[in-house]
Structure 1
Amino acid sequence: MAFRRRTDPPSLPKGEALTAALVGLGMAFAAEPALEPNIENTLLAASIEGMEQEDLRVLAMLLTWLEIHSAWVNVDRLTCLVSQQGAEQVRAFWSAVGHWLGKDRRFARMAKAYTGPRRDLLGTGTDFLVRRSGEDPRLTEGPLRVPAGALRDRRGDVLRPAELAIRHRTYRCRILLGPSYRADMWAELEAEPSLTAAELARRASGSFATAWHVKRDWNLLKSAQTG
């Protein structure tokens, strides 16, 4: 049991905490940034806010962020989190993202998160808007019908990878080591080298086995540097 990866649903940020977390991931909202928020927890929370509360600005910012930063998302963990969501509209959103980013094979399983009929993002007016302007070209292959322009590109409101790497330790480690549990554990050790393997696994939502190896490698490198 100790070697299994944690799959229990995390506590997700809401309200002002979510806004601060989004700013901490490099999105331009009017709030002070949270310090190095959990990446996948924040992305999932943003999709819940956007889909359940019909917050189109959050959804637009989220799509732009994913377009820029998807290479450094732990898609395996995010897909597991999405699969635990009971809200069909949230799973439909991530299924649409999986279809959109499907050239990255890591997103293939996410595209299967929702298997129901195609849904409209907007509560009303979708038929008229689609006839007038067509659909959002990013999402035409997925289960979410979004009129073009409803979720506008907000590229100027999202930090670039080099900028986000300066302020977010875990993101920086993912650039170095790949978007993995190992990278997240390495970032945790950079912040707190005294963590045990069990604590490391818990904080990074990873397995004890991975944490044990990361802790071993960390200690080896530190010994080499001081020796």
Structure 2
Amino acid sequence: MAGPIMEWASEIFGNVKRKGEAAGQFLDAESEIEILRDVVKECLIRHILKVINTTNSTSHASGSHDAGLLATPQGYTAGDLESLSPDCVNGLMTKGYGIQDHFIEDRIIEDVYKELEMIDFEGKLTQVQQQKMIGYRTDKICWVNFEGLDREKQPGLLELFKKMISIPFELNKKCSLYLQASASFHLGCYPKDAYYKKHVDGGYESNLNNGRKVTALFYANKDWSQSDG
């Protein structure tokens, strides 16, 4: 356990130090030791919480077929359930995928991007070592629950998550898919040359059935171009 925690702490400390030096602020040896000690302590606390949350999430996933989690449109009161265009819904039902442009306002996208940058800066995004070793992916990720958001510091993610939560309700309304509601979100970042290969970790076969029917992806880099990779 100590190895990954120290690597995480080193990454965060390096980010803090580089940002300070870029702003003309330099640390003496004593200050470095004090700050590094605080960073290691914080990383240890976060690691323990992550283990606890992972255990709880696994327990929750085992009951993911609970009918009580059904996203019933009649019980949704946070909007009109009209975020997805007919073309998007039709594509999902006929081709297996749908694309929705302008899902949220540009100002929210900008907030989301900045908040994701801060999450990455704090070292909360980490590689999935098992899947990296077998060549599936080299992106950095973390899981976040809607209730775990900081309402003041993460207003963009708050608005995005609210919108994402509405998707199963809307699809149940329009397509009768009997989807269940979820408030857990997978955040990801692709550094230069990172990749995510096509693979299957859920499906309708009994050995793959984890309750997932639809995966919704939101891309926060609205200025992306083909040259970015």
Give the number of the structure whose residues are more often strand, by fraction: 2
Greater radius of gyration (CA)? 2
Is this a same-fold pair by TM over 0.5? no
TM-score by length of 2: 0.22
Give the number of the structure whose residues are more often helix, by fraction: 1
